[in-house]
Amino acid sequence: MKLKRYFVFLIIVSFVIAMVPLSLAAEGEKININTASVEELAKLDRIGPKYAERIVQYREINGPFEKPEDIMKVKGIGQKTLEVNKDRITVD
């Protein structure tokens, strides 16, 4: 019985350890605000589905963003949101 618990514990620990690099990679992932989907945009900090949809609508109406700072032209997105995401946002 102890051996079975130990084995299950090892599997769980191995899984958690394996997932850490994947989650860190997602946090550092660059997101192009000119081409990203709503789901991709929602991965940005402080951007949920509602704001992600606003970003997509903004670029459909106004054309592509010229620089990452232009994301602040979207209603509800301000300096704080830009600051926490500035290393992850791209327009290339």
Q: What is the pLDDT of residues 16-29, one digit of tens each?
A: 676 555 444 455 78
Tell me, what's the pLDDT at 10?
A: 67
Domain containing residue 35: CATH number: 1.10.150.280
Range of the domain at 24: 2-90
User: Are 73 and 58 contacting, i.e. CB atoms less than 8 angstroms apart?
Assistant: yes
User: Are 71 and 45 contacting, i.e. CB atoms less than 8 angstroms apart?
Assistant: no
Chain centroid to Cα 1, Å, comes to 42
Q: State what percent of residues in the chain have pLDDT above 90.
A: 68
| β-pair partners for 32 | 90
pLDDT at 39 over 60: yes
Q: How many domains does the chain have?
A: 1
| β-pair partners for 89 | 31
- The reported pTM is 0.71
User: Are 31 and 41 contacting, i.e. CB atoms less than 8 angstroms apart?
Assistant: yes
Please give the Cα distance from 52 to 74 (Å, whole number): 10
